[in-house]
Amino acid sequence: MVNEEEISEVAKLMKINLEDHSDHVKRVQKMLEYFDILDDANVESEEIIVQETDLGKLRDDKYNQYDKNLLKFLKSYQEKYVKAPKLN
Amino acid sequence: MDLGISALNYINSIKNGEFTVEEFTLKSLERISQVDGKLHAFLRVNDLAIKNAREIDTKIKSNQNVGKCYGMPVSIKDNICIEGSKTTCASKVLENFIAPYTSTVINKLNSEDAIIIGKTNLDEFAMGLSTEFSAYGPSRNPWNADYVPGGSSGGSGVSVSANECIASLGSDTGGSIRNPASFCSVVGLKPTYGLVSRYGLISYANSIEQIGPMTKTVEDSAFLLNIISGIDSNDNTTVDNKNQDYLNNIDAGINGKKIGIVTEMTNPDGLSTDVLDATNDAIKTFEKLGANCEQISLEMVRYAVAAYYTITSTEAGSNLARYDNIRYGYEFDSSGFEFNSYISQARSKFGPEVIRRMILGGFVPSAGHAGKYFSKALKVKSKLTAEIKHVFEKFDYLISPTVPIQPFKFGEKINDPVSFMMVDFNTVTANLTGIPAISVPYKITNGLPIGIQIMANHEEEHSLLQAAYALEKTVDLPEVPA
């Protein structure tokens, strides 16, 4: 059983502030309890299939000029720099 | 003028001069203003729709080349970007987000002279199956407004079902096209993974989600798939549609085809007897059409919902990390904030379901837990894919009810997360394995719709649409209540 502290710690790492977290924790616990059904699946010897893409199918690896000023969509920027909060 | 006509009939009517694009667009906008206060399919309506319609009428009158859509009004789920207009994902986080570029599917529709009539409601960031998680309030089922329309593309389903537009584009991560198609009695197609470009679709779980059509008829879905499918250099996951015409021979029938009835999907926990009756009736119909139906078992289907929520939550945790209020998010001054608290403040705008899935998405792949959850989920996905590959060596199609239950009342399931997840039981398999699947309206029982799901092998949309068409032609359903 996953406890409340573990879930709260993950929320903190995800930078999610759980002010009233009891309802979230209970629901997440219920979902994780349901996920325990995965323990019954006979998949121990199964290999994980990774999707592979042939390099020949990818677009050419060349620089394409993007002609729109994406910075204008941000409110917190100065000249060509994004303005971010300070790191402590 | 019949606003309930199919796309193909609309095009013929325009070609025959029965009405103009402007007249039809105007009527559609009037219909939206009449019914959408109650149904809330739309988050926004396109102010330029009439202007666009007049431009297409001018092209028609002056014998210029006109695109295949001839100005048909199409609604778009509000997680698909259109340059210069809002794309909110039904989230307060993106309340003021203006898309800086246009998605490939929209470019393709525009190049064929479709009119984007508006953006439709969804569960926030497409996480849900009822639209109850939209930050702007739920959509309502046109068959009975006390019931949910399904989701997450609920607004798209409602807009087509209620004749507010001719067709819509939704996105399907675990059934988000097929579920509202079933609940609203429209056709909903989730294409093979990669057949339709996701460029410009705001990601939730990018390894399995797809854009697809929601339409009044199977032919209309084939028509739209002809337009939106194919390779896109902006999306490296796209596959070649081989210039297939999905409308060609759509009436070929299914005589002699082999259909597998997925046992696990026809008796899941909570299956409604009305849905089971409709499914058994559909099986008899397929047999009358000359198909050979046989029960088959897919062992991994039992674990598919758990695997699906594990994988999608993990991808959501990663994809939604970009909403840090620096690049995306709601805007406020960064001065005075420390880095982490600033981002936390921005994320406080997420709704409850998104927060829960982000927490899950941080938990299930984390050190100490990944072996129990995420790795097993990926192994279930791999084994399920192998099972599917194996059954399609023998069968042409797999069938099941699209959703194990009929539409439910607002609030009925929202407090029980497990019962909520189980609504996805029959739809997630197609997403985890990448195969195409379609929901076909089959029955109205107790005033509410039931859809039948047909699945086919990878890139077998042509054959899939033939089976769907054959089934559709056997049913005669009532008109949606006005």
Q: Where along chain B do its domains lie?
A: 7-254+436-472
Window 207-226 of B: residues touching A by CB (8 A cutoff) are 207
Asked whether the beta carbons of residue A31 and residue B376 sit closer than 8 angstroms, the reply is no
Mean pLDDT estimate for chain B = 95
Q: Active-site residues of B: which are they?
A: 77, 152, 176
Calpha distance B173→B186 (Å, rounded) = 18
SS3 content of chain B, % helix, strand, coil (to 5): 40, 15, 45
Query: Smallest Cβ distance to B338: which of A30, A47, A86?
Result: A86
The partner residue sitting opposite B362, judged by closest CB among A10, A58, A76, is A10
pTM of the predicted structure, to 2 decimals: 0.96
Q: What's the domain range around A29?
A: 1-40
Looking at B165-300, list the stretches that DSSP marks H as alpha helix, in order from N- to C-terminal side. Answer: 178-184, 218-228, 263-266, 273-288
B420 vs B308: CA distance, rounded Å: 13
Question: Residue ranges of the alpha helices (H) in chain A?
Answer: 4-13, 22-35
Least confident of A11-15, A18-22, B109-113, B413-417: A18-22
Phi/psi at B332 (nearest 5 deg)?
A: -150, 160
Of A16, A39, A51, the CB nearest to B347: A16
Q: How many CB atoms lie within 10 A of CB B47?
A: 9
Q: Which of B208, B324, B343, B359 to mutate to test the interface with A (most CBs of A within 10 A)?
A: B359
**CA B384 – CA B302 distance, rounded (Å):** 10
pLDDT score of B378: 97
Q: What is the pLDDT of residues B16-62, one digit of tens each?
A: 999 999 999 999 999 999 999 999 999 999 999 999 999 999 999 99
Band the pLDDT of B298: cuts 50, 70, 90. very high
DSSP secondary structure letters along B271-301:
--HHHHHHHHHHHHHHHHTT-EEEEE--TTH
Chain B segment 321-340 residues within 8 A of A by beta carbon are: 324, 326-327, 331, 333-335, 337-340
Using CA atoms, how far apart are residues B21 and B29, in angstroms rounded to an integer? Answer: 12
pLDDT score for B132: 97
Residue A53 lies in a domain: no
Q: Which residue has the higher pLDDT, B328 or B442?
A: B442
Nearest CA in chain B to A11: B359
**Residue of B355, B364, B421 for testing the chain A interface, max A β-carbons within 10 Å:** B355
Is residue A31 domain-resident?
A: yes
The CATH number of the domain covering residues in B7-254+436-472: 3.90.1300.10
Model confidence pLDDT, tens digit, residues B156-169: 999 999 999 999 99
CB atoms B380 and A2 under 8 Å = no
Of B71-80, B232-241, B392-401, least confident by mean pLDDT is B232-241
CB distance from A62 to chain B under 8 Å? Answer: no
Report if residue A52 sits inside a domain.
no
Q: Report the distance separating Cα A53 and Cα A57, nearest Å.
A: 7
One-letter identity of residue B194: G
Within 8 A of B305 by CB-CB distance, chain A residues are 34
Structure tokens at B472: 């559709």
Instruction: Give the pLDDT score at B482.
Output: 65
The pLDDT-based confidence of A20 (bands split at 50, 70, 90) is low
pLDDT in the model for residue B27:
98
- Local confidence band at B248 (pLDDT 50, 70, 90 cut-offs): very high
The whole-angstrom separation of Cα B219 and Cα A42 is 41
Residues B98-157: tens digit of each pLDDT: 999 999 999 999 999 999 999 999 999 999 999 999 999 999 999 999 999 999 999 999
- What is the pLDDT, as a whole number, of residue A88? 60
Helix axes A4-13, A22-35, angle to 10 degrees: 100
Residue B170 corresponds to which tokens in the numbers above? 């939704």
Residue B286 has pLDDT above 80, yes or no: yes
